[in-house]
């Protein structure tokens, strides 16, 4: 291959192998302008059978490595592309004025689609969506949004708003910033109201967000009455105009896809090709996984339940490996029904324990949901334990020790691998619940004074709680009281040291309650 300078070159096949990226990702990096278009030449002798192949300067390997590092830090691809195009003239970005101005010895340039090795076409990913897009949950709060939507639709940064209630889309549409930015804001408002009307009754409008004024409530009801219901379909498409206050406007085709987790809105400019968009949305599992992986951290009120299997090390030692794993998997399969029944969100598995969250924004009765879920789990575990005692003819009782706590923390998702998504909360709320599950014994349910204080009077009266105390050779259960952890362990120095970090935490034990499942909204 002839060169007029000292650059080293690699072909597209070698680039894909050494960088460990897909053919589609390479195409999109070129399309975004962070990598140069390839120089097409005849292949080397070792690649017989290929008429033409694309060559890149080997510096693109460093560029790809840098992109990966930035993506791992959570930076969106569109922001990375903009930075690289601005800071590096060598990125190869070609504006319309540069395309076609290639010197003779550089070789022939080819369209992006020709870079790929045979056997497939362009595959769009969430990071590479450069048109406006956002995910709404079914409280109509923005859970994910890209920079294009902030810039072209809302006219303000949304990702910096940490309180999810202030990301309610109707609240944003009624704000002066949006009214000033979009001339036809009422049309955009009514379009989203049609989706709300399709699944939610008029009587719930005034509960959409707090601090709603009377005028806002009346306007919401007025628009609701006029709105047409969106037909039930996997992907809804509609033409929408967004008219800027300054006079410019843009027509979009808006694709809305429905998931259990919410609604994904994708705006495509009417003059753009839509083939890759249709392919992208058709892969529903990948889309929702990518959206949840990039969910915005949100400050939420929640209750957390941590459950640990007592004596799991001893049980593991006594059972053959296949029976131990059968026991664990069967146990979680049975108990999963209880978590779903009370609107629990799976956090993560910790050894032989599990974490579930109950969010206030999903159900105002989230505290009682966590308590009733714990009571239901304890009842199911008693039956499960008896089944295994009969099967193994042993005397071991199986207990799940449970800790419950409540708080307000930042809540988001983590991605330990490309296929697993875990919900997690930061802060002491979950740490205290975990410590209480370690403290609990024989299937008891321990919770904090904060949880009980946040219950209303009726719910508190429906729960039997208190502290077990030793009186000479008898154990008494004193109802409606709390105790510091340190006072519970005053006769056990080893355990007092083990739980020194929560020594002053006031706790109580829940023994009974009414385990009524909450009403479920249809998905």
pLDDT for position 425: 74
Ranges in the chain, pLDDT < 70: 1-7, 41-52, 85-125, 232, 246-247, 271-279, 284, 348-352, 412-423, 514-523
Do the Cβ atoms of 166 and 213 come closer than 8 Å?
no
Q: How is residue 404 written in tokens? A: 């419950």
Q: How is residue 295 written in tokens? A: 């969910």
CA distance 308 to 482: 23
Q: What's the burial of 504, exposed, middle or buried (CB within 10 Å: 0-12/13-18/19+)? A: exposed
User: pTM to 2 decimals?
Assistant: 0.57
- Residues in Cβ contact with 434 at an 8 Å cutoff, skipping those fewer than 6 apart: 306, 350, 353, 355, 403
Q: What's the burial of 510, exposed, middle or buried (CB within 10 Å: 0-12/13-18/19+)? A: buried
CA distance 57 to 15: 10
The CA-to-CA distance between both ends of the chain, in Å, stands at: 59
Exposure class string for 422-436: b at 16+ Cβ within 10 A, else e: bbebeeebbbbbbbb
pLDDT tens digits, one per residue of 252-276: 999 998 887 789 999 988 766 565 6
pLDDT for position 55: 84
Closest CA to 500 of 455, 443, 449, 435: 435
pLDDT tens digits, one per residue of 203-245: 989 988 888 999 999 999 999 999 987 876 778 888 999 998 7
Other CB atoms within a 10 A radius of the CB of residue 101 amount to 8
Closest CA to 126 of 271, 295, 303, 315: 295
CA distance 201 to 205: 7
Percentage of the chain exceeding pLDDT 90? 39
Question: DSSP string of 176-206?
Answer: HHHHHHBTTHHHHHHHHHHHHHTTS-GGGGG
pLDDT for position 436: 96
pLDDT for position 120: 35
CA distance 446 to 133: 43
Question: DSSP string of 273-309?
Answer: --HHHHHHHH-HHHHHHHHHHTPPPEEEEEEEEEEEE
pLDDT for position 232: 67
Classify strands 400-414 and 445-448 as parallel, antiparallel or unpaired: parallel
Do the Cβ atoms of 412 and 328 come closer than 8 Å?
no
pLDDT for position 231: 72
Other CB atoms within a 10 A radius of the CB of residue 394 amount to 12
Q: Is 445 in a helix, a strand, or coil?
A: strand
pLDDT for position 115: 30
pLDDT for position 43: 62
Domains annotated on the chain, with CATH: 9-122 (1.10.1660), 127-293 (3.30.450.180), 298-512 (3.30.70.1230)
pLDDT for position 421: 53
Q: Is 146 in a helix, a strand, or coil?
A: coil
pLDDT for position 1: 45
Q: What's the burial of 522, exposed, middle or buried (CB within 10 Å: 0-12/13-18/19+)? A: exposed
Other CB atoms within a 10 A radius of the CB of residue 320 amount to 8
pLDDT for position 96: 32
For Cα atoms 141, 147, 149, give the angle at the middle one, nearest 5 degrees.
55
């Amino acid at each position: 291959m002839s060169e007029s300078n000292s650059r080293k070159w690699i072909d597209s096949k070698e680039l894909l192998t050494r960088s460990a990226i897909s053919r589609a990702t390479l195409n999109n990096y070129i399309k975004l302008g962070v990598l140069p278009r390839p120089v097409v030449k005849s292949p080397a002798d070792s690649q017989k059978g290929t008429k033409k192949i694309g060559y890149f300067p080997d510096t693109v390997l460093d560029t790809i490595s840098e992109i990966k590092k930035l993506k791992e830090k959570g930076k969106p691809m569109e922001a990375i592309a903009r930075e690289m195009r601005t800071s590096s003239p060598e990125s190869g970005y070609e504006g319309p004025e540069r395309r076609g101005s290639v010197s003779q010895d550089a070789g022939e340039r080819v369209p992006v689609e020709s870079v790929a090795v045979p056997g497939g076409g362009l595959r769009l990913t969430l990071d590479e969506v450069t048109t406006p897009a956002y995910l709404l949950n079914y409280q109509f709060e923005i859970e994910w949004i890209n920079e294009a939507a902030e810039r072209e639709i809302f006219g303000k940064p949304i990702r910096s708003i940490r309180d999810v209630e202030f990301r309610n889309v109707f609240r944003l549409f009624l704000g002066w910033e949006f009214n000033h930015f979009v001339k036809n804001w009422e049309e955009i408002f009514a379009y989203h109201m049609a989706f709300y009307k399709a699944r939610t009754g008029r009587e719930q409008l005034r509960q959409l967000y707090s601090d709603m004024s009377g005028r806002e409530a009346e306007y919401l009801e007025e628009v609701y009455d006029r709105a047409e219901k969106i037909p039930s379909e996997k992907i809804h498409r509609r033409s929408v105009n967004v008219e800027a206050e300054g006079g410019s406007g843009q027509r979009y085709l808006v694709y809305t896809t429905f998931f259990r987790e919410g609604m994904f809105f994708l705006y495509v400019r009417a003059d753009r090709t839509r083939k890759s968009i249709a392919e992208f949305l058709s892969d529903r599992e990948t889309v929702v996984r990518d959206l949840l992986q990039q969910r915005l951290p949100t400050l939420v009120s929640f209750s957390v339940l941590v459950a640990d299997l007592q004596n799991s090390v001893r049980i593991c030692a006594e059972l053959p490996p296949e029976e131990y794993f059968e026991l664990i998997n069967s146990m979680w399969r049975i108990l999963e029904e209880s978590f779903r029944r009370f609107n629990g969100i799976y956090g993560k598995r910790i050894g032989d324990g599990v974490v579930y969250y109950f969010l206030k924004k999903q159900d105002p009765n989230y505290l009682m949901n966590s308590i009733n879920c714990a009571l239901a789990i304890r009842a199911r575990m008693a039956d499960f334990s008896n089944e295994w005692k009969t099967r193994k003819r042993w005397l071991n009782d199986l207990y799940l020790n449970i800790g419950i706590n409540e708080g307000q923390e930042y809540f988001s998702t983590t991605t330990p691998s490309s296929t697993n998504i875990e919900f997690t909360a930061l802060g002491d709320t979950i740490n205290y619940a975990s410590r209480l599950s370690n403290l609990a014994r024989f299937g008891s349910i321990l919770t904090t004074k904060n949880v009980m204080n946040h219950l209303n009077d009726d719910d508190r009266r429906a729960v039997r709680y208190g502290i077990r105390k030793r009186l000479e050779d008898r154990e008494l259960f004193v109802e409606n009281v709390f105790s510091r952890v340190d006072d519970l362990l005053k006769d056990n120095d080893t355990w007092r040291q083990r739980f020194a970090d929560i020594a002053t935490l006031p706790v109580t034990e829940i023994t009974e309650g009414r385990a009524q499942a909450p009403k479920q909204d249809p998905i």
